[in-house]
A and B are shown apart, each in its own frame.
Chain A
Amino acid sequence: MNKFRFIFIGFMLTFMSSWVGLVLLPIWGLGNFEQVPDPETGEMIPPVFSSLEREGHRVYIANGCIYCHSQQVHPARVRSDIERGWGERRTVPRDYMNQETVQMGTMRTGPDLSNIGVRNPSETWHLLHLYNPQITSKGSNMPPFKFLFETRKKDPEKPAANALNFPKGFGPGKDFEVTPSHEMLALVAYLQSLKLSSYEIPEAPAARVDSLAK
């Protein structure tokens, strides 16, 4: 058993070294952020999610949006994110502090969503896009999320107030109406709240970000 004891100690030590460097130190350095006051308005940023937005975050997670969409804006010297209009500055760790399970992502089959709430604030756009991406984005390979909507026969006396208005060629037909489910409304609220790098915070002041940009 003697020699094996040394092999065991050795491979557990190498393992623990990585645990210290890549788990413990990140928890210490990146795991204790607090909000800071906005220099102009005084409100605490980044803002905490509302309960509807938190529900939407969970819908995002349950349906695996992360597998096509990232939520991290890279600096201009690395990638063209800022030039594409995906954010005014790169995202920094504090921007994510209020998310339950961070959804930074590793694939860009679809665009980055860090600041989608700034870029596409319209609820109508999101509802149409999520119902059938081809409506707003022809040729997209994003799946339709019709199962997060309710389709029923339209009652001409009492049409639903928030029924979707489809352009020609889309939708279930004039005898039916489609309304978003509660989960869909929560998801859209979450997307509208995504403005990760649109705040100015101490470690990412606008002036310094500009000088790093090129």
Chain B
Amino acid sequence: MNISDAQLAAFVDGELPAEDRAAVAAAIAADPELARSLAAQRALRERLRQAFDPTLNEPVPQRLLDAVQGSPIVDFDVAKPRRRRTLLAATAWMAVAASLVLAVLVFPRLLQRVGREPDIVVAGSNRIAGGELARALSLRLASEPASGRVQLGLSFLAKSGEYCRTFAVAQNGGTAAGLACREQESWRIHVLEPVSRPAGELGGYRQAASVLSPLLLQAVETRIAGEPLDAAGEASARGSGWRRTSQAPK
């Protein structure tokens, strides 16, 4: 029996009529390629559930409860205060989150390793590189031998004018890969994702390009102006403090 992609998807989504299920299941059992596709589709479904299901257990923000109890008369003017309440609610929520994070994460970690600065600092809606990651992004060239927890990949000039670099950083026992761009005086992290391989295997400059995940590649591709910097270009960008000399004479 030939199984189409649509049938396979319907099987995963529980949309296949009962009379077809057994036939499709048998075809999958007989065909390793089909079994792999099935596993990939199931894994994706599972990852999405795991990413978003925790929302169900969060306390619902008061402003939404208020909205349900509120007056059913809504006109255009309500749109403006809604924004303001959003900010207030977000601030309050973040304060709660901050204290929770402090209690749950920071305190035990401080006990474990006093004085280590976080690699990633979440400031408002921005993620900024900190500590060892920030130093490596500012100071190290991709061509230099790897040392420490941070590996550098590609450096390039973005269409919007700033310098960006891809990196991998070992933390929490795993490795995260990402893309950071120089904005004002800091490295703003635009993409960050888990990597299954330990940082030690990521290797130097040559291998670095090949560890770019599709997600990271896509982010680089949408931003990059021209080609990635070569070693000389990178050194000169570092020399200028990762500021474009023509744009920011400082």
Whether chain B is bound by chain A comes out as no
Give the B-binding residues of A (Cβ under 8 A): none
Give the A-binding residues of B (Cβ under 8 A): none
